[in-house]
Amino acid sequence: MSYPTAHTFGAVGSGPERSVPGTTPIAPALAQTYTGGPNVASVAHRIAARPTTYNGIEMRSRLEAWWAARMDEGALVWHYEPCAFAGPGVDQYLPDFRWDIPRPGGRTKHVFLELKGFIASLAELDGFLGRMEVIWNSEPEATLLLVQGHAEHVWHGHIDEAGERHWAEIDARPEAIMQLGSA
Q: Using one digit for the tens of pLDDT, what is the confidence trace for 20-57?
A: 333 334 444 443 333 333 344 444 456 778 899 999 99
Residue 33 maps to a domain: yes
Number of domains in the chain: 1
Contact of 147 with 115, CB cutoff 8 Å: yes
Q: In whole angstroms, what is the distance from residue 181 CA to residue 143 CA?
A: 10
Helices (H) and strands (E) in the chain, counts: 5, 11
Residue 64 maps to a domain: yes
Q: In whole angstroms, what is the distance from residue 147 CA to residue 133 CA?
A: 15
pLDDT at residue 127 above 80?
Answer: yes
Residue 1 maps to a domain: no
Residue of higher predicted confidence among 90 and 26: 90
CATH number at residue 172: 3.40.1350
Q: In whole angstroms, what is the distance from residue 48 CA to residue 114 CA?
A: 17
How many CA atoms lie within 13 Å of 27's alpha carbon, on the beta-carbon side?
Answer: 12
Residue 3 maps to a domain: no
Cβ-Cβ contacts under 8 Å for 24 (sequence gap 6 or more): 6, 8, 9, 10
Residue of higher predicted confidence among 74 and 29: 74
Residue 106 maps to a domain: yes
pLDDT of residue 180: 66
Query: Domain residues for 134?
Result: 8-15+24-40+50-182
Residue 45 maps to a domain: no
Residue 139 maps to a domain: yes
pTM over 0.75, yes/no? no
**Band (176; pLDDT cuts 50, 70, 90):** confident
**Band (76; pLDDT cuts 50, 70, 90):** confident
